Structure 1
Amino acid sequence: ERGREVPASEVAARWGRTRGDDLATIIYTSGTTGRPKGVELTHRNFVAHTRNGASGLAEVCAQPHSRTLLFMPLAHVFARYIEVLCVPSGAVLGHTPDTRNLLPDLAAFQPTFVLAVPRVFEKVYNSAEQKAGGGTKLRLFRWAAKVAIAYSRALDTDAGPSAALSAQHRLAGRLVHVKLRAALGGRAEWAISGGAPLGERLGHFYRGIGVRVLEGYGLTETTAPTTVNRPGLTKVGSVGPAFPGTAVRVDDDGGIWISGPHVFRGYRHDAEATAEALVDGWFRTGDVGSLDADGYLRITGRTKEIIVTAGGKNVAPAVLEDRLRGHPIVSQVVVVGDQRPFIGALVTLDPEMLPGWLSNHGLPAMDAVAAGQDPRVLEALDRAVERANEAVSRAESIRKIRVLPTDLTEANGYLTPSLKVKRALVLKDFAADVDALYVDTRADQAG
């Protein structure tokens, strides 16, 4: 209590009364497609899961030199889990409250492992590309990025990287990659990504520059990670095998189910939702995915986010959104098309990246609203859409985009703490913009 020191005897008494099944915390789900629910997590959830984590990720977080700088909000279960994990693992933990000072803070703290959501890794890459400017420096950066990705992909082949590719990788490392690692503090060996799909391109890029990204998957209801790529157990593009102490199965419809001591005990004051989610000792995640022959999980998307076009085509928006969001000036993407004749997308521009991109492309300065209407900017976005569409069939491809006049941020309520878009809210507030995509559909239907 404020203004009163709690006696040591009282602390010991409270400690003694605490049991594993007691409530430790309530974390409210981000509510991307529905109303947030209070997830009740117990002390047992955290103790069992962090002990398994300290063992399964020992090479990352339980070395004498292990240290991490936490900049994700503690409202997010991923950050809360890492905070607790540092107790049994012995890692040094630092906090920084303001991501506007993130790069200087990383340089000062020099973490050996970094955790973040994919948007952070995207922005580090895009910022580095923008700082390269134009001309020879930009060509050098792009060459070094391609080499990093090619080298990482070659590591997954039986033959491994060729002698020529290895030589290019060493040269790129001296000229460019070392500077990129410096942006993460200079000592980062590992990065843990969660909260949304990272995508193979970025996974290979970071591994290629010497920072191995361990992508994982989990939910608030599973006390964060439930599958994770780990040292020696990594497939870039997957979210890894089951975490130590956990079990994963995929039903005939692709639905992902989770079991283990890390699964929550129920939703706060919501017995109906709890009974729907917890069935015979398994948690129904609401996500769709697949397990390969080696037990590595790949995520397709959320069941509630699957789009069914007027033609009956089922489309998982995550792949298209991730690829299109890789363009330097694209901030957020919401793929639409449910019960519509084709797939479209709402796009927002990144106000931080836009000035440098415009300058590098010989275009005059303009704000995001003007840029969203400029034919030269729209042409660049159309090319980005074409590249994103290469990952899907014609029926699943984006036919039209509409640039929104404002970005989607946590501050204006459109992003969750883990920087996922609140899809239902966006579709409601920007319904007129969605309708505008389908004003004249004849040409698109003919195609």
Structure 2
Amino acid sequence: MREYSVPVLVDVPPSANLTDTVFQRAEQEPGAVALRRKVGADWTAVTAREFRDQVAAVAKGLIAAGVEPGDRVALMSRTRYEWTVIDYAIWSAGAVGVPIYETSSADQVAWIVSDSGAKAIFVELESHEATVHEVLPKLDAVKHVWRIEGGAVDELSAAGAEVSDETLTERRTGRCVDDLATIVYTSGTTGMPKGCRLTHDNLLFTARNVSYGPLEKLFSVDNRSVLLFLPLAHVFARLIQVVLVETGTVIGHTPDMKNVAPSLQEFRPTFLLAVPRVFEKVYNGAEQKAVAGGKGKIFHAAAGTAIAWSRAESAGGAGLGLKLKHALFDKLVYGKLREATGGNLWAAISGGSALGDRLGHFFRGVGIEVLEGWGLTETSAPSTVNMPGANKIGTVGKPFPGVSVAIGDDGEILVKGRHIFKGYWNNDAATAEAIDADGWFHTGDIGEIDADGYVRITGRKKEILVTAAGKNVAPAPMEDRIRAHPLVSQALVVGDNRPFVAALVTLDPEALEQWKTANGRAGATLAELSADSAIIAEVQKAVDDANRSVSKAEQIKKFTILDIELSEETGHVTPKQSIKRNVVMRDFAKQVDELYG
């Protein structure tokens, strides 16, 4: 078994908990800007003391409402300022946060709230409140439902006015590293979500070893800031939130992941975190805009130069000619792309799925270095991450300090460290299956470790397809390459127990609008475009590109374009934009069968 370990860099005292930094910074740097929140059209600064005071007030309200140490409190909301206030208030009251995706169905809410035994629920909107009330009769443990846009923060602050500072301090400091901080439910691509038990130590140990280790450069620049737009219900954004608080990085929030560009230009972050689909949309949108404006050749030349320059830098440095071309396109193209993200952005963290070499090199060539990382809910988000200045594009980086990674005999990636969760809530059997007797967590991902300790993900153990001829096929790399095409939204490679490999493809609605305008097809429906010969030819190019990356036996022989968009709303995609393979295979079984008819 090949193994690679990195020594611990930062220890966490046994008495520590996640709220310490919030309260200590308010005393040490009361006037420092901790967050900026959108009030009307303006971004308003929130100082460290103001943030602490609001967290404390809500925490006192929770105590007054009867929330006891260790009680679970659910939070169903989009990413917004109040999410962070409530999250830290729950911890300050000694309770355990249970995040719920704001897109969750009534059945999902009922399962998470009942399984966790949550005593109270925060919701954001009236629609969320209606979802909760639909299943509330089944939830005997729930005593309170507070609505953020119904004045929940002010209501609780007023209700807790009689709770003393001494009571709050006793409650807050009574929690330590070994105590449960949150139960994060997996997004459930198959079956009901499982609750992952994460302690204060899991999150603090991870946050401090990442921020003072591989990502130190991101958190040592002046005027650093991050705009959060990924769901805070997901462990990736949640862990980054902790990192930002721990490092004194200014935080902003916006709930609109699909239209984040205006907020980026207003907030002007120095770095951000996103999933690969966001970077794909940025690239495809810029390409489509350039083509529509008659500047497609310039854009493609600039993109090619950015990629070539980045590849040359990885190989030891670009030559003079390439440097001159790169400098020219920096003035003509790259600077405008950076300005579209606010002008201060120089780095980003990508997680959730593979970014791909092409996009990684493109963005580095443009001047925005995208650092891929990898992990799961069970590993408190990251286990590996690339570093500024040591970014090996195409990998997910090296283990961060305090983490060991190994490759099992079957190629599965195994992980060990203090960031590993304490097991599944109410599910000892699943815990025993995930963590072996030697303490290794079995991730379910397939991969390899190179001589320098960088990890490369090559597939998902449960998603490996085995064709009727016995050929093992990893679908994810091919799907990533197909999705790189501007017109493609999602791709699902199929072929398990079938004679050959095939694919289901969906089209990107935004890119289609530009394509229709450019090709005189205004008014054409999605169903018509899915069968259009010109569209089919474009998708064929994407499939051909994917086929060039694999052996002949693994190549996609046929594909079909579905006439719908796979999304959270249709139930085919998780909130972190992962395809629910089992649901897609069930709902489009007829189309799959027709591929082999």
TM-score (normalised: structure 1): 0.95
2:569 to 408, 411, 424: 411
2:214 matches 1:59: no
**Any stretches of 5+ residues in structure 1 without a counterpart?**
440-447
Runs of 4+ residues over 3 Å off in structure 1: 361-365
2:510 matches 1:352: yes
Q: Would the aligned equivalents of 2:292 and 2:514 in 1 still touch at CA under 8 Å? A: no
1:239 to 386, 396, 421: 396
| Partner of residue 18, structure 1 | 175
* Cα distance change of structure 1 residues 209 and 409 upon mapping to structure 2, 3 Å threshold: same
2:360 matches 1:203: yes
- 2:536 aligned counterpart, secondary structure: helix
**TM superposition shift of 1:100:** 4.3
Counterparts of 1:138 and 1:4, CA distance in 2: 60
Counterparts of 2:251 and 2:226, CA distance in 1: 5
For 1:29-178, list aligned pairs within 5 A. Answer: 29-56=186-213, 57-134=215-292, 136-158=294-316, 160-178=317-335
**TM superposition shift of 1:90:** 1.2
1:302 partner amino acid: R
2:540 matches 1:385: no
Counterparts of 2:193 and 2:593, CA distance in 1: 27
**TM superposition shift of 1:62:** 3.5
- 2:510 aligned counterpart, secondary structure: coil
Counterparts of 2:476 and 2:529, CA distance in 1: 25
Counterparts of 2:511 and 2:576, CA distance in 1: 20
| Partner of residue 444, structure 1 | none
| Partner of residue 477, structure 2 | 319
**Alignment deviations for residues 17-58 of structure 1 (CA, whole Å, 9 cap, x no partner):** 212111111111122244421111111101111111220211
Counterparts of 1:357 and 1:148, CA distance in 2: 25
1:370 to 521, 528, 539: 528
**TM superposition shift of 1:362:** 4.8
1:217 partner amino acid: W
- 1:133 aligned counterpart, secondary structure: helix
Counterparts of 2:495 and 2:209, CA distance in 1: 42
Q: Which moves more between the two structures, 257-266 or 98-107?
A: 98-107
**TM superposition shift of 1:180:** 1.1
Q: Which moves more between the two structures, 198-207 or 232-241?
A: 232-241
* Cα distance change of structure 1 residues 101 and 134 upon mapping to structure 2, 3 Å threshold: closer
| Partner of residue 584, structure 2 | 426
1:315 partner amino acid: V
Q: Would the aligned equivalents of 2:411 and 2:447 in 1 still touch at CA under 8 Å? A: yes
**Alignment deviations for residues 100-129 of structure 1 (CA, whole Å, 9 cap, x no partner):** 441110000001111000000000000011
| Partner of residue 350, structure 2 | 193
- 2:159 aligned counterpart, secondary structure: coil
* Cα distance change of structure 1 residues 125 and 382 upon mapping to structure 2, 3 Å threshold: same
- 2:237 aligned counterpart, secondary structure: helix
Counterparts of 1:266 and 1:135, CA distance in 2: 54
1:146 partner amino acid: G
* Cα distance change of structure 1 residues 165 and 362 upon mapping to structure 2, 3 Å threshold: farther
Counterparts of 2:423 and 2:257, CA distance in 1: 33
* Cα distance change of structure 1 residues 39 and 209 upon mapping to structure 2, 3 Å threshold: same
| Partner of residue 340, structure 1 | 498
- 2:255 aligned counterpart, secondary structure: coil
- 1:321 aligned counterpart, secondary structure: helix
**TM superposition shift of 1:377:** 1.0
TM-score (normalised: structure 2): 0.72
| Partner of residue 394, structure 1 | 552
**Any stretches of 5+ residues in structure 2 without a counterpart?**
1-61, 63-155
Identity of aligned residues (%): 53
2:162 matches 1:4: no
| Partner of residue 420, structure 2 | 263
1:93 partner amino acid: I
**TM superposition shift of 1:16:** 2.3
**Alignment deviations for residues 378-419 of structure 1 (CA, whole Å, 9 cap, x no partner):** 111112211121111111111111111211111222111211
RMSD: 1.3
- 2:383 aligned counterpart, secondary structure: strand
- 1:266 aligned counterpart, secondary structure: coil
**TM superposition shift of 1:230:** 0.6
Counterparts of 2:326 and 2:434, CA distance in 1: 48
- 1:19 aligned counterpart, secondary structure: coil
Counterparts of 1:164 and 1:360, CA distance in 2: 35
Counterparts of 2:518 and 2:330, CA distance in 1: 24
| Partner of residue 73, structure 2 | none
| Partner of residue 445, structure 1 | none
2:559 partner amino acid: I
**TM superposition shift of 1:134:** 4.2
**Alignment deviations for residues 260-308 of structure 1 (CA, whole Å, 9 cap, x no partner):** 1111000011100000111121111011000011110000111000000
**TM superposition shift of 1:369:** 1.6
1:116 partner amino acid: A
**Alignment deviations for residues 419-442 of structure 1 (CA, whole Å, 9 cap, x no partner):** 111111111111111111100xxx
**TM superposition shift of 1:364:** 4.6
Counterparts of 1:7 and 1:72, CA distance in 2: 36
Q: Which moves more between the two structures, 176-185 or 188-197?
A: 176-185
**TM superposition shift of 1:363:** 4.3
| Partner of residue 251, structure 1 | 408
